[in-house]
Amino acid sequence: MTGPRVALFATCLTDTLYPETARAVLTLLERLGCTVEFPLAQTCCGQMHFNTGYAGHARPLARDYAAAFDGYDYVVTPSGSCGGMVREIHPGLCGTSPAVERTYELSEFLVDVLGTIDVGAYFPHRVTYHPTCHSLRMLGVGDKPLRLLRAVEGLELTELPLAEQCCGFGGTFAIKNAETSTAMLADKMNAVQDTGAQVLTAGDNSCLMHIGGGLSRLRAGIRTVHLAEILASTEEEPWPVGTR
């Protein structure tokens, strides 16, 4: 039996800054029987340009995306915001394409396409989960990430207060309105610290970069780990976390 032929859309942020997340997606999907490829023609979905007011620059990037990911059964990305950009915004920029229609955020792909909740993961830590805005409101992933986390052996899930409030990243918002962004981050960090969790996870490295950057500055001792890395971790091969 051969599984679906899946293209991994790593996103520019993960490819460049967090390669371990992309390797985790690869490990996880291969463990679940998928054939995974990484089309080297991929770069960026154009979200930063589009959201900052440069739709003209985002348009060719959206076209390149459609071309790079044409011909796969599915495209899977470990990012709610980039997945949201592709599914919700690309059609308005350059029309829809098979690549756009087959793009899934990781937790959606696992639950909706592979029909899996228990991916055989083992992660013996106390974890809290931040539902990132775009996965929540653009893609509507709902509680899929939580269902996946609850099925992870050894993992103790603690609820994050006011979880659905934005962490204040917002791409260039974090620079353009740095002080407001920082005020939002401060509240998010307080909430994370209140949970007593050792690990904060989410389905988007951009939000984790923001919250993790703040926690690191505070020397809060809480690690940020992408959901994919938790799901890739097994008892035989624990995922090496702790580098950020």
Partner 1 sequence: MAGRNPVTWLGSPTFPKAAHIALGDTQLRSNLRKATTTIRTKRAGVVAELDDWERLRRAGEAIKDSVLADLDTYLSRLEESVTARGGVVHWARDADEANRIVLDLVRAQGAEEVVKVKSMATAELGLNEALEEGGVHAVETDLAELIVQLGHDRPSHILVPAIHRNRAEIKNIFDREMPERPASDEPRDLAEAARRHLRRKFLSAKVAISGANFAVADTGSIVVVESEGNGRMCVTLPETLITVMGIEKVVPSWQDLEVFLQLLPRSSTAERMNPYTSVWSGVTPGDGPSTFHLVLLDNGRTATLADRVGRQALRCIRCSACLNVCPVYERTGGQAYGSVYPGPIGAILAPQLSGDLHDEQVASLPFASSLCGACYEVCPVRINIPEVLTHLREQAVKAKGKRTPEAIAMSAAAWVFADPKRYEAMQRAGSLSRLLARDGRISRLPWPGSKWTATRDAPSIPEESFRAWWRRNRE
> Where does this chain bind partner 1 (CB under 8 A)?
10, 12, 14-19, 22-23, 38, 40-44, 46, 48-55, 57, 60-61, 64, 133-134, 136-138, 164-166, 168-171, 173-185, 209-210, 212-214, 216-217, 243-244
Count other C-beta atoms under 10 Å from residue 234's C-beta: 17
**Secondary structure of residue 95 in the 3-state scheme:** coil
Residue 195 and residue 123 in contact, taking contact as beta carbons nearer than 8 Å: no
Give the residue with the Cβ less far from partner 1, 145 or 212: 212
CB of 181 to partner 1, least distance (A): 7
CB of 117 to partner 1, least distance (A): 26
Q: At what angle do helices 178-194 and 205-218 cross, to 10 degrees?
A: 80
CB of 223 to partner 1, least distance (A): 12
Give the residue with the Cβ less far from partner 1, 127 or 138: 138
CB of 33 to partner 1, least distance (A): 17
Give the residue with the Cβ less far from partner 1, 122 or 171: 171
Distance CA 193, CA 200 (A): 10
Give the residue with the Cβ less far from partner 1, 4 or 214: 214
Distance CA 181, CA 58 (A): 24
Burial environment of residue 162 by CB neighbours within 10 A (0 to 12, 13 to 18, 19 or more): exposed
Give the residue with the Cβ less far from partner 1, 96 or 117: 96
Residue-wise DSSP of 221-242:
--EEEEHHHHHH--SSS-----
CB of 240 to partner 1, least distance (A): 13
Give the residue with the Cβ less far from partner 1, 117 or 162: 162
CA within 13 Å, CB half, 41: 11
- The radius of gyration of the chain from alpha carbons, rounded to an integer in Å, stands at 17
CB of 153 to partner 1, least distance (A): 27
Encoding tokens for residue 26? 């690869």
